[in-house]
Amino acid sequence: MMKRFFTVSLLVAIYVISFASTPLLAAPMTCTNRQQVCFAYCARQYHNAPRCLSTCKDLMGQCLSNGCWDSKVTVKQCGITKQ
């Protein structure tokens, strides 16, 4: 039960942080911007572990092909500019 609470809390925190770092009136989110957020997360949480960085690169490829960013730590975001 405690493990589930911790996991849900972590996911909510990551979701909030990912949006808090982007001003509301900023330019549209791009795949490149989203990848930079992912890399920053890897640096903060995993000290740039190769597996985390690789996941960011894989997500970038998916984003460029379908305009959506769908990782396990954030809510699926679509309508992202493919840049």
Q: What is the pTM of this model?
A: 0.65
pLDDT at 27: 55
pLDDT in tens, the chain (83 residues): 655 544 545 444 455 455 544 444 455 689 999 999 999 999 999 999 999 999 999 999 999 999 999 988 888 999 999 87
pLDDT at 40: 96
**Residue of 78, 46, 83, 8 lying closest to 38 (CA atoms):** 46
2 class by beta-carbon count within 10 Å (0-12 exposed, 13-18 middle, 19+ buried): exposed
Asked if residues 66 and 33 have their Cβ atoms less than 8 Å apart, the reply is: no
Question: From residue 57, how far is each of 22, 60, 61 by CA, in Å?
Answer: 21, 5, 6
- In this structure, the number of other CB atoms found within 10 A of the CB of residue 31 comes to 22
- What are the sequence ranges of the domains in the chain? 2-78
